[in-house]
Homo-oligomer: A and B are copies of this chain.
Amino acid sequence: MDLKKFFDPQSVAVIGASNDKNKVGYSLVFNLKNGGTHKRKILPVSLTERVILGLPAYRSIAEIKDKVDLAVIAIPAFAVPAVLEECGKKEVGAAIIISSGFKEAGGAGKELEKKIRMTAASYHIALLGPNCLGTIDTHAGLNASFAAAETPAPGAIAFLSQSGALGAAMLDWAHKEGVRFSKFISLGNEAALTEIEFLEYLAKDKETEAIMLYLEKVSDGKKFMALAKKITQKKPVVVLKAGRSARGSAAALSHTGSLAPESAVFEAACRECGIVTAGSLREFYNTAKLLQLGLASGALDAQKPPREIAILTNGGGPSVVAADLVELSSSLSLTKLSEAATRALAKVLPPIAALGNPVDILGDALAPRYESALKVLCAEKATQGIIVILTPQMMTDAAGTARLLAAYGKKKLVIPVLMGREAVADGVQALRGANLVNFDFPDDAIGALDALAFAIFGKKKVEEKPAASPATPKLSALKSAATLMDFAAARILLQKYGIEISGEFVRAKIDLDAILEELGAGPFAMKVVSREISHKTDVGGVRLNLVDAKAARDAWDEIAKTVRRKAPRAVIQGMLVQPMAKGKEIIIGMKRDPVFGPVISFGFGGIFVEAMHDVALRVAPVADTDARKMMDEIKGASLLRGTRGEKPVDARALTKLVVALSRLALLNPEVQAIDLNPVMATDRGAVVVDARVVVG
């Protein structure tokens, strides 16, 4: 399906066009007419009016003789299906349904939405909406939206939004702040076309060099990831995902489940794809600003964003705060200036200027002093980005300094932070003139730099992937009630994938001695096996350090007695007898996410550590290299590598378990969640001490 008609149609019909300024149908025609310099046919359709904004109006789409590339529909929802049918008959290539009152309204609206989806499909109409603002293409000079009064100037950033309101606010904000879009697409209800198809289109769009994306839902996690991975190789993608605090509806049956809520999964998926994620609107907007700055100056290589930062300032306070934030950020650091640079700065700056990083050129600095310092800093190879802070002091020349920044910004990423408002207004204006933007506070710029660098960092770490599994999990399975799998069955299932639970399952006490002999030297652990018991220790179902057969037999009786008392309804199937395992307690888990499918988690175990939520997540399939990276990612990573002379844990053995769990999850869609908890890892091997498998 060719989406070009949404952006550069030769002819556009507006159904529901109006001369009433309070109606959407007016704004649509107005924006189409005034939105661009390109010539295209604008064909208003109205039941009542014959001339709209000076253009002849039609009674219906059928009445139009010309070919219609794009129909923009803004009439009451109930009337939309019939009009769409007409569009189909007229062979209209694409339609934007602006009208609301569909799925979002519930009830009959849902039916209406189904109807328009089916009509669009049967007539091969590319359908955007309903319940959206429309599209804007700043290069083709098209404004097929009722959003912006003023059509934005051409730019290199595409903006895709699942919220119309957020889109409208951002267009207005961006216009004022100097952020320039290539295309704007308000996705609405996504009755037919979703963010996926538009992302595919934007991936190839020559005018688009970066993509901003506001998401409330992801239609297809796997497709989204595959596509995003390709796009981010060439164009940075920034996502603001809403609904991060919403809890999934399914009860957290699996313990690891609680460590991998949906939003963490989304974060992990984005990191895998090299997507920049924003945590707030402010951060989302700031990242757009940074992209604008980088793309306009040509000094930002999004595949290699600046990490080594220099700060140039005419005021101590803000630069100290900025230095703090750089140092405290996850991926940035302050460059150590070379001796040559320090000497060069000493030559051109006043004696009491601070020559370190931040470079403080004092409150009376005029543009020439900024220039002297900038020359030196731009020549420093290690420095990848320069934050230039200007505070309004007695003689500060904001405009002159701003013009300078625009010039030097072509050599290296120079980030202007002109602080204040009125006093720096002419400087900000000068930046706008050069297509650049200003940051009000160093914090804003640093946050955006960090987000960008962090995401690319994440991306660089993910290269190889095993081929995606043939068996895509069937999500229908999610609907049935999830239950804990029988221990014996779970053991067999895990075994098939090379995951061995330690020890032997003993059904009757009479077999105990023989099995103990088989297991070799003690001491042993004994654990009750019962489908009804999830947390064995809670019901006295575990005994440790059993030194011999006698102790084991006694333990059997004691466990049976206690469990019967504490969990009278539980059927005891037998006991698991294991050699006591030593090592570091690890938890490896799998949980099926409704959007992204199986997600593998890796973290330290033990109740102390579980309380810390220190866990690494990956969307399956997880390859060997990914598994290793998960081990590096957790906060306690150094402990895996061994501290104070300890040997490192057997990373190969742990990797094997992670990869096996990923494979199992992909090939067994009925498995909802798995916990290998604990896995005891030593320098030679990793022993799975217990496992829980949830199916449903």
Contacts and interface: CB of A to CB of B under 8 A. Distances in A.
Given A162-B317, A317-B161, A321-B280, A538 B106 contact: no
A169 B422 contact: no
A168 B391 contact: yes
Nearest to A313: B165
Contacts of A392: 168-169, 172
A175 B281 CA distance: 25
Point out which of A105, A171, A315, A643 has the most chain B C-beta atoms below 10 A from its C-beta: A315
Contacts of A282: 282, 440-441, 443-444
A241 to B, nearest CB: 9
Interface in A534-549: 535, 537-538
Contact of A639 (B173, B315, B443, B608): B608
28 contacts: A27-B394, A101-B352, A105-B351, A150-B422, A163-B318, A164-B363, A165-B315, A165-B318, A168-B315, A168-B392, A172-B419, A172-B420, A172-B422, A173-B420, A175-B421, A216-B316, A243-B320, A245-B324, A280-B321, A280-B325, A281-B318, A282-B441, A538-B645, A607-B639, A607-B643, A608-B639, A611-B635, A611-B638
Copies of this chain, how many? Answer: 2
Contact of A280 (B323, B393, B424, B441): B441
A176 B421 contact: yes
A451 interface: no
A327 interface: yes
Point out which of A216, A243, A285, A423 has the most chain B C-beta atoms below 10 A from its C-beta: A423
User: Which 8 A-B pairs have CB atoms at the shortest separation, nearest pair first?
Assistant: A165-B315, A163-B317, A166-B317, A172-B420, A176-B421, A245-B327, A169-B419, A280-B443
Interface in A325-383: 325, 327-328, 351-352, 363
B638 A419 contact: no
A171 B314 CA distance: 16
Interface in A278-332: 280-283, 285, 313-318, 320-321, 323-325, 327-328
Interface in A606-627: 606-609, 611-612, 614
A507 interface: no
A550 B214 CA distance: 71
Nearest to A584: B608
A83 interface: no
A240 interface: yes
Interface of A: 22, 24, 27, 100-101, 104-106, 109, 146, 149-150, 161-169, 171-173, 175-177, 214, 216, 240, 242-245, 280-283, 285, 313-318, 320-321, 323-325, 327-328, 351-352, 363, 391-395, 419-424, 440-444, 535, 537-538, 584, 604, 606-609, 611-612, 614, 635-636, 638-639, 643-645
A104 B352 contact: yes
Given A604-B608, A608-B609, A635-B612, A169 B318 contact: yes
Nearest to A420: B172
Contacts of A607: 639, 643-644
A281 B442 contact: yes
Given A280-B325, A423-B149, A441-B280, A317 B608 contact: no
Given A168-B393, A420-B172, A614-B612, A281 B321 contact: yes
A267 to B, nearest CB: 13
Contacts of A105: 351-352
Point out which of A146, A165, A167, A243 has the most chain B C-beta atoms below 10 A from its C-beta: A165
A214 B169 CA distance: 33
Contacts of A318: 163, 165-166, 169, 281
Contact of A394 (B146, B281, B285, B644): B146
A213 to B, nearest CB: 12
Given A245-B327, A283-B443, 9 more contacts: A109-B352, A146-B394, A171-B420, A244-B324, A280-B325, A607-B643, A608-B609, A608-B639, A611-B636
A169 B315 contact: yes
Contacts of A639: 607-608, 611
Given A177-B421, A245-B327, A321-B280, A391 B609 contact: no
